[in-house]
Structure 1
Amino acid sequence: MASKMKIETRHWTLIVALLIAFYACYTLIEPYVGSIVLAFIVSLLFAPLHGKIKTLLPNKSNLAAALSCLLLTVIIIIPLIVVFAAILNQGLKFFSDSYAWFSSGGAEIILNSPQVTYAINLVNSLPIEPITAQEIAQKAASTLSKFSGQMLSFSSKFVGDITGMFVNFLLMLFVLFFLLRDHAKIIQTLRHVIPLSRSQEDTLLEEVEKVAKSAVLGSFLTALAQGLVGGFAMWLAGFPGLFWGTMMAFASFIPVVGTALIWLPSAIYLLLIGQWEWGIFLIAWGALVVGSVDNILRPLLMQGNSGMNTLLIFFSLIGGLHVFGLMGLIYGPIVFSVTLVLFHMYEIEFHQFLDKQDNS
């Protein structure tokens, strides 16, 4: 009995020491967790193409992994940098032109419209401090000027942060190289150290892989699709399509309001300046086409989330955004899905006890 107690004490001591060591290691790599997780997700998405490269280069795992990383850089990252630079340039030009238009009397066209005049009179009839069209114009011009300054500051900051982004990208590529090269060894090690049965390990690892892929596809491809169709409509209506399409893609991550944050004010602006046909077109396109992309494409792409219904997916996304930022769109669904899988394992493992409790 004493021997058994000593063994159990030794085991628990080892486990506690290991947990402390793991936490210490985490504190060391915590600033780089985003790059590591991103490398893990990219390795899952890039696995089929890397598998073909490995087939062409048998027994040359280092070269195959290096070529995969190089191919990823060439076909994704470089075009992305070029497009992002074009987006910044288009955004700066748009806000500069808008401020010039506003300052040269464009604001009066909107403020003198019957709709705005009626709205101002309605507001002034309330027991609050009255406002005038001139005050609104001054505040709007000031806001637009500040926003233009913020865009300029952001572009300068972006240029200044290129070095940091480049370092993070190199770190991601470095991790990706080893994840691609040593994928089989990493999975084998995980299977060995996880104290679960082989079937439970398979279920858990498959779920993490499936959910990570579906979270990327569900969130980022939906955002890309909404940005494309929304940007196309904005371009038809006379706005800079590339810039506002990108803004729609980012806005699609915002719960509830989503892309309406972009296309609705644009449509109202068109209605106020008398372009009724384009204003109505933007409202119809935003509500029917852009909204349909989110309602149809996201659930279709995220169907790999282990029994997660729409409510759980919604809370996993907004909760992930709140806690982890943009990467929470991946972390949130993974946390929820793994929890559901573990709960299902619990039900199977303790089914006799649970059935006995139900019948007692």
Structure 2
Amino acid sequence: MADNRTEKREAGRFTVDRAIGAIVVGVLVFATFATLRPFFPAILWAVVLAVTAAPLHGRILDRMPAWPRLAAVLTTLFLALILVVPAIGLTRGVIAYTPEIIAWVESMSAQDAARAPESIGNIPWIGDFLSSNWEMIATEGRSYIAHFSADIESWLAWALQQVENVGLFMFEIALGVILAGVFLAKRARLSAFAQTFFGRVGGDFALRLVDRTVVTTRSTVRGVVGGAVAEAIVAAFAYFIAGVPAWLLLGALTFFAALIQIGTPLVWIPVAIWLLIQNELGWAIFIVAWGMIVVYGVENVSRPFLAGRAAELPGLLIFIGVLGGLVAWGLIGVFLGPVILAVAYELVQAWFDPSTGDDPDRRDGAADTST
């Protein structure tokens, strides 16, 4: 009887200890989540950067195998050069040009647009038609603006709110680059941990999904994001040499338009029209020719060259990923959204693809090896 009572007390104490331990672990997990929650976008961005830059880091490490930390530092410096430096320039451009853009929009809205600018009549083939019908075009344009004025004001208010977050965007970009360097320095240990964890959780099928996730992440960043960056660079160069103000912001808008698949002409065509209004017919023709030949050529060459698989992703998926990422994660979500949806899309395809299912022979072989 005494032994039974002792066993009951020990069982009760064990149950209480487990309950207290579970509560402590739960509180610790919640506190950790609350602490890291503001940094989730930067951490996720760092993982994406580390996965994308891993081949480059591997090449650098092959040349200096005795200095793995120095190789990680060099890779981090390269990422900072192509990401942090442009982000600094964009942030400064947004801060510097936003008041001027607002003042210019207000001044243009106050001007009388009943008469066509002189440069409009100089446009080949259609100049006379536009000049003779300019009053009707201007009247229709003002009516549309008046009709959608409430929506335009809400869009401008949202855009200004995003402009206020450029400092946070700059911080997340920089922190992501630094964390990516840390992850690359610990690449071997983190890779071994991922292989062990996913191998125990889902076996060979989970490991194949991880491999597919890595490939999709790299192809999306290189093809979709890298292609948009290439288009933005060549377009911003044209804006700069044409003397267009706020060319950095226009380059950022070109990047955004290329990223969400709606087309860069939505940026460089209004730029050409603005140059026409400023009586700069030659530069307007140059911008149109540059957009049709150079920017469009870069779009068709860069994506297949950087990552052919990224071009297979549905354009609607990328469009939703950019906008959804912007709403969910802020400006850093412009980069994260397409990658997240692309990975999800590829994993769903792999899940329903019978060729990626578990192979009993491979599974038995893996079990034999582990023993």
TM tier, smaller: 0.5 to 0.7
- Partner residue of 1:120? 135
Shift of 1:46: 3.1
Is contact 1:41–1:212 with CA below 8 Å preserved after alignment? yes
With the length of structure 1 as denominator, give the TM-score of the two structures.
0.64
Q: Distance in 2 between matches of 1:132 and 1:207?
A: 52
- Partner residue of 2:190? 186
- Partner residue of 2:325? 324
Q: Does 1:252 find its partner at 2:258? A: yes
SS in 1 for 2:192: helix
- Alignment partner for residue 34 of structure 1, among 22, 41, 63? 41
Matches within 5 A, 1:277-288: 277-288=282-293
Using the TM superposition, name which of 202-211 and 219-228 deviates more: 202-211
Q: Distance in 2 between matches of 1:99 and 1:323?
A: 31
Is contact 2:94–2:163 with CA below 8 Å preserved after alignment? no
Shift of 1:318: 2.0
Shift of 1:264: 1.6
- Partner residue of 1:157? 164
Residue deviations 1:112-150, cap 9 Å, x none? 867265143479xxxxxxx599x78x98xx99xx89x97
Matches within 5 A, 1:337-352: 337-345=346-354, 348-349=357-358
Distance 1:288 1:208, change over 3 A: same
- Partner residue of 2:11? none
Q: Distance in 1 between matches of 2:97 and 2:323?
A: 30
Percent identity for Structure 1 against Structure 2: 22
Q: Distance in 1 between matches of 2:31 and 2:214?
A: 24
Higher relative contact order (CA closer than 8 Å, sequence separation 6+): 2
Amino acid in the other structure paired with 2:319: I
Distance 1:78 1:345, change over 3 A: same
SS in 2 for 1:258: coil
Shift of 1:94: 6.1
Q: Distance in 2 between matches of 1:342 and 1:152?
A: 39
Unaligned ranges ≥5, structure 1: 1-16, 124-130, 352-360
- Partner residue of 1:211? 216
Shift of 1:221: 1.9
Is contact 2:223–2:304 with CA below 8 Å preserved after alignment? yes
Shift of 1:320: 1.7
Is contact 2:238–2:290 with CA below 8 Å preserved after alignment? yes
Shift of 1:269: 3.7
- Partner residue of 2:13? none
- Partner residue of 1:126? none
Q: Distance in 1 between matches of 2:237 and 2:62?
A: 39
Unaligned ranges ≥5, structure 2: 1-21, 121-128, 327-333, 361-371
Amino acid in the other structure paired with 2:84: I
- Partner residue of 2:266? 261
Amino acid in the other structure paired with 1:253: L
User: How many pairs are equivalent?
Assistant: 310
With the length of structure 2 as denominator, give the TM-score of the two structures.
0.63
Distance 1:303 1:121, change over 3 A: closer
Q: Output the aligned Cα RMSD.
A: 4.7
Q: Distance in 2 between matches of 1:166 and 1:279?
A: 33
Shift of 1:232: 2.9
Amino acid in the other structure paired with 2:135: I
Shift of 1:38: 1.0
